[in-house]
Chain A
Amino acid sequence: MVVMDQAQAPAPPRGPGKRAANRAAAFIAKKVLALIVTLLVASLAVFFSRFLVPGDPARFLLRGRSPKPEALEEITRQFGLDKPAWEQYLNWLGGILHGDWGRSLTYRQDVSDVLLGRLPTTLQLVALAAVFITVLGLFAGILASLNKGFSDRFILITLTAAGAVPPFVAAIALVALFSVGLGWFPSFGSGDGGWDRIWHLTLPALALGITYIAMVARVTRSSMNEQLLREHVEVATSRGLTRGSVVARHVLRNALGPILTVSGVLVAGLLVSSAIIERTFGLSGIGQLLVQSIDRLDFAVVQAIVMVVVAAFVLVNTVVDLIQPLIDPRIAAGTESR
């Protein structure tokens, strides 16, 4: 018998087909289950942490007035504070599932109404910042990676310096330069819808994202540098592909995994750090609301905001996890690199 190698061997066991589809479904189910469990645990922590904070919310509400025992009792009953803790929790959780987040103590409104008034501004701010972070971060990273030597070092040093600037300093500097000095962008308010909104949010989004641009750029740079040394890049070059094709299809494409993971975590974290920026630029978003509500012991609002932030964080990361196998099929097969 002459030679016989795998070419004549039967089909590899991992073919596209039913098994692969099942595995994909199981993978998604597992991730979604993890998401739900995480949210449940988070809700427990969020709800019960209130009992660790000193002060009675009902008493706070009546500050300045003579706390008549009847009035105090009335308010306590009205907000369901007289019931045992676990019952309060179940009521709260059940309410959330129906879209009812409880009533705000300070605003005397449904929490969902208070939130809905503020959330869009923050989401738009974060979305715009996310765009700046990914676009500028990727751009700077790619540029640094492909231009070894002076430009690489220059970009790296600039970014490191920019990354070390606290957001509020960056905000003040940006305002001083672009609104006061050049007059290109407004320094206050969130503007009306459409382009005006984007115009108003540009400086805040830049100030918010500047630290993270540096991080994304660094990850992009190192991830691409690692890929540039891979043999498949040389193979692609040897087949006569243009430099652009090689970089886009083989270097950047393969470097996406770590970039996506880091960007996901960063962008999800933006919701929290937006408070300072919102204050600096006079935007009424949930960041500012959160700070106010903690001050006033408005626990229903605090809990709602923290839950929203946690949910956004976990959701973004789950989405990133779900996208990873599409970027690198080896992850889905469980045979990542060898």
Chain B
Amino acid sequence: MTQLLTIEDFTLGFRDRPPLLDSVSLHVNDGEAVALVGESGSGKSLTTRAALGLFPGGSEFSGTVAVQGLDTLTASKQRLMELRRGHASMIFQDPRAGINPVRTVGDFLTETLLRFDGLSRAEATERAVKQLEQVGLRRAKELMDQHPHQLSGGMLQRVMIAAALLNSPDLLLCDEPTTALDVTTQAGIVKLLREEQQSRGMGMLFITHDLNLAASLCERVYVLRRGRVVEQGGTQNVFLTPQQDYTRQLVEATPVIDVAGLEAPAAAGVPLLEVAGLSKTYQLPRGDVITALDNAAFTLPEGGSLGVVGESGSGKSTLARLVVALETATEGELTLRGVPRPRRALKASERKVLAKDVQIVFQDPYLSLDPRIPVGNAVADVFRLHQRQGRKQAKVSAAELLGRVGIGPERFDARPRALSGGQRQRVALAKALAARPRLLVLDEATSALDVSVQAQVLELVEELREQLGLTILFVTHDLAVVSRLCSQILVMHQGGIVEQGPTARILEDPGDEYTRNLIASRPRPLWDAEPVTA
């Protein structure tokens, strides 16, 4: 076997700053699928882009990055373009951002064929249509004339894959190609990639932060941390018997569904939140009506924990927003602590009373914290507003609470910009808890975080729940995360609740076709033929 991609002692960085990549060495053989695993900022994307000769502007680099013997660090522009056109292709993370939104799908696919391969428009179109059909898209001819916004994310990613495969590359680089997709869609894309890679005998370098995904697709793996390869080897070896501390941490932090470890749900207490026949519809200007939430009904007892699971567009976020009164229901009853919610937008005074009982933590801590307010003040403000504490006392309370979520006093005067994603989410959590709510709504609160940080935040939530007797409504797309935190699960699909019940029961014996599909879509390691939840 020859080495298709060879990276040796590759160092990349900016002048006067520590290097972003520090003598990275890896290789991909012909026909081999290799995973490059690491958390955000580890340098995965930089490494992969280097294989195509794409470097960030103004960076300095040394070492070797060779594709089929062509060193991309020193190759001429012309040779690099030939390499990109014919020998190595890349699939990017977000197809919606990666395909020019103002041009048609056909234009995107055929532009290189027309320009550089000398094909006529008819020939190029024919080849593109064939490729679209091969990646599992039906009505390929019609798709050619459509614009990206008319396609779903899954379809678009297939278009992106088709574009990458058009010139039968020898090396396929994948940069988190399924992160922007739903679980069930992800499963389809992963299957397609695996099939194509096997049947064409392509070499593949697959970047991901998701160990499960790496295990389901690749034979070998490199673990990257802060620009250094910390561990490498066969996927099974690395994941089952990791040698390095960091890899061990990563493996442990990766959420898995562990049915045996589930605690039995506590006996139902006094209902805190009762929802019956709740619906939310939106009227579009053109007269169409969108049903975001259809006839939802459930009860959440005091001190309970309910996981709301579903894919994008399932209505789970609408439900969360209704509970915290960011939206007004079109129909149905929502009762919190025995108080029915009026079916109109709340007045400021009513909202303040409600905020004492219900707080929400959003997905993206980069957007949900005010960039101008130091985090200590942000939390203290909540104490002053809801606990009517004086300036001094609020500061003390904020310090105590921030300490509890693991933010030390040295950071109180820092603005959110100076904190990492995990730290920001802790601050967001502290802000929510400062109101001493009974019900904490977490809307995908860990989805934007790295696995290790996600594990820390989940642990923190678990701990706080026990200490404070919180009731939790956890909205997420990740079954494993929910299984860890929630005793009850509610599965949503296209605005409706398809199934609800105790977590163990739903995971072991799902009653609904969609739930089964959702569970089966979780990536399974190559060496593990048995389904995880069988």
Residue ranges of A at the interface with B (Cβ–Cβ < 8 Å):
1-9, 11-12, 14-16, 148, 230-232, 234-242, 245, 249-250, 253-254, 327-330, 333-335, 337-338
Binary interface profile of B, 89-101, with partner A (CB < 8 Å = 1, else 0)? 1101110111111
Interface size on B, residues (CB 8 A): 59
Task: Please name the 9 residue pairs, one residue from A and one from B, whose CB atoms are nearest each other, closest first.
Answer: A240-B85, A240-B84, A6-B152, A5-B188, A5-B185, A231-B97, A3-B187, A5-B154, A6-B154
Q: Is the CB of A3 within 8 A of B188?
A: yes
**In this assembly, does B363 line the interface, its C-beta being within 8 Å of a C-beta of chain A?**
no
Whether the pair A239, B163 counts as a contact (CB closer than 8 A) is: yes
User: Which chain B residue has the least Cβ–Cβ distance from A20?
Assistant: B150
**In the bound complex, what is the Cα–Cα distance between A4 and B189 (angstroms)?**
10
How many A-B residue pairs have C-beta atoms within 8 angstroms? Tell me: 135
Asked whether B102 lies within 8 Å of A235 as measured between CB atoms, the reply is: no
> When the two chains form their complex, are residues A232 and B99 in contact, meaning their CB atoms are under 8 A apart?
yes
A8 to B138, CA, bound (A): 7
- Check B150 against A14 for contact (C-beta < 8 Å): yes
User: Is there a chain A Cβ closer than 8 Å to B517's Cβ?
Assistant: yes
Q: What are 18 sample pairs from A and B whose C-beta atoms fall under 8 A apart?
A: A2-B191, A3-B191, A6-B152, A7-B158, A8-B138, A12-B152, A16-B146, A231-B97, A235-B98, A236-B111, A238-B89, A238-B90, A238-B92, A240-B85, A249-B103, A250-B103, A333-B147, A333-B149
| B116 adjacent to chain A (CB < 8 Å) | yes
CB distance from B390 to the nearest CB of A (A): 45
Q: Which residues of B contact A236 (CB under 8 A)?
A: 100, 111
Query: Is the Cβ of B96 less than 8 Å from the Cβ of A338?
Result: yes
A236 — nearest CB in chain B belongs to which residue?
B100
Chain A minimum-CB-distance residue to B521: A3
Complex contacts, B286 vs chain A, CB 8 Å = 334
B residues near A14, Cβ cutoff 8 Å: 150
The DSSP consensus for interface residues of chain B is helix
CB distance from A242 to the nearest CB of B (A): 7
- Residues on B with beta carbons closer than 8 Å to the beta carbon of A16: 142, 145-146
Is the beta-carbon distance between A329 and B154 smaller than 8 angstroms? no
Return chain B residues, CB-CB under 8 Å to A235: 90, 92, 98-99, 160
Quick check: is B151 within 8 A (CB to CB) of the other chain?
A: yes
CB distance from B115 to the nearest CB of A (A): 6
A230: chain B residues within 8 A (beta carbon): 97
**B330 within 8 Å of A (CB atoms):** no
Within 8 A of A (CB), among B69-117: 81-86, 89-90, 92-94, 96-103, 111-112, 115-116
Docked Cα-Cα span, A116 to B154, in Å, equals 60
A240 interface neighbour in B82, B153, B188, Cβ under 8 Å: B82
CB nearest to A233 among chain B residues: B100
Q: How far is the CA of A14 from the CA of B54 in the complex (A)?
A: 37
Taking CB atoms, residues of chain B closer than 8 Å to A7 are 136-138, 154-155, 158, 188
B81 and A242 within 8 A (CB): yes
Q: Is the CB of B154 within 8 A of A232?
A: no
By beta carbon, the residue of chain A nearest B153 is A6
Residue-by-residue, is B131-167 near A (CB-CB < 8 Å gives 1, otherwise 0)?
Answer: 0000011110010011101111111001010010000
- Provide the bound-state CA to CA distance between A3 and B188, in Å: 6
Q: A328–B101 contact, CB under 8 A?
A: yes
Give the interface centre of A6, A241, A253 by most chain B CB atoms within 10 Å. Answer: A6
- A23 nearest CB neighbor, chain B only: B286
Measured CA separation A285–B527 after assembly (Å)? 83
Q: How far is the CA of A219 from the CA of B72 in the complex (A)?
A: 36
Residues of A near B137 (CB, < 8 A) are 7
Given contacts A11-B139, A231-B92, contact A5 B100 (CB under 8 A): no
Query: What residues of chain A lie closer than 8 Å to B103, measured between beta carbons?
Result: 249-250, 253
A250 to B517, CA, bound (A): 39
| Interface flag for B516 (CB, 8 Å) | yes
Known contacts A5-B187, A5-B188, A11-B139; 15 additional CB pairs below 8 A are: A1-B517, A7-B138, A7-B188, A9-B152, A12-B146, A12-B151, A232-B98, A232-B100, A232-B101, A234-B92, A235-B99, A237-B84, A238-B90, A250-B100, A327-B102
User: B520: CB under 8 A from chain A?
Assistant: yes
Residues of A within 8 Å of B102, CB to CB, are 253-254, 327-330
**Chain B residues with Cβ under 8 A from A237's Cβ?**
54, 84
A12 and chain B: residue at smallest CB distance: B150
B97 touches A232 (CB 8 A): yes
**In angstroms, how far is the closest chain A Cβ from the Cβ of B155?**
5
A335 CB to closest chain B CB, in angstroms? 5
Alpha-carbon separation in the docked complex, A7 to B81 (Å): 31
Q: Which residues of A contact B115 (CB under 8 A)?
A: 241, 245
Q: Are A240 and B138 in contact (CB under 8 A)?
A: no
Shortest B29–chain A CB gap in Å is 22
B184 at the interface (CB under 8 A from A): yes
Whether B149 lies near A330 (C-beta < 8 A) is yes
Tell me, in angstroms, the Cα distance from A82 to B191 when the chains sit together.
86
**Complex Cα–Cα for A242 and B77 (A):** 9
Task: List residues of chain B with CB within 8 A of the CB of A335.
Answer: 149
Q: How many angstroms between the C-alpha atoms of A241 and B97 in the bound complex?
A: 18
CB atoms of A4 and B188 under 8 A apart = yes
Q: Which residue of A lies closest to B160 (CB)?
A: A235
Q: In chain B, residues 480-501, which have Cβ atoms closer than 8 Å to a Cβ of chain A?
A: none
With both chains docked as a complex, state the minimum distance between the C-beta of A259 and any C-beta of chain B, in angstroms.
13
B513 in the interface, Cβ–Cβ < 8 Å? Answer: yes
A239: nearest residue on chain B (CB-CB)? B112
Query: Smallest CB–CB gap between A22 and chain B, Å?
Result: 11
In the complex the two chains form, is B152's CB within 8 Å of A330's CB? no
CB nearest to B116 among chain A residues = A240
Distance of A148 Cα from B58 Cα, bound (Å): 11
Chain A neighbourhood of B138, CB < 8 A: 7-8
Which residues does chain A contribute within 8 Å of B96, judged by CB atoms? 338
Instruction: Please name the residue on chain A nearest to B147 by beta carbon.
Output: A329
- Asked if B378 is at the interface of the complex by the 8 Å CB criterion, the answer is no
- Which of A3, A12, A238, A328 is close to B84, meaning CB atoms less than 8 Å apart? A238
Q: How far is the CA of A4 from the CA of B286 in the complex (A)?
A: 31
Q: Kindly state whether residue B214 has any CB partner on chain A within 8 Å.
A: no
Asked if residues B97 and A240 are in contact (CB atoms below 8 Å), the reply is no
Taking CB atoms, residues of chain B closer than 8 Å to A241 are 81, 111-112, 115
Closest to B115 in A: A245
Indicate if the CB atoms of A2 and B520 lie closer than 8 Å.
yes
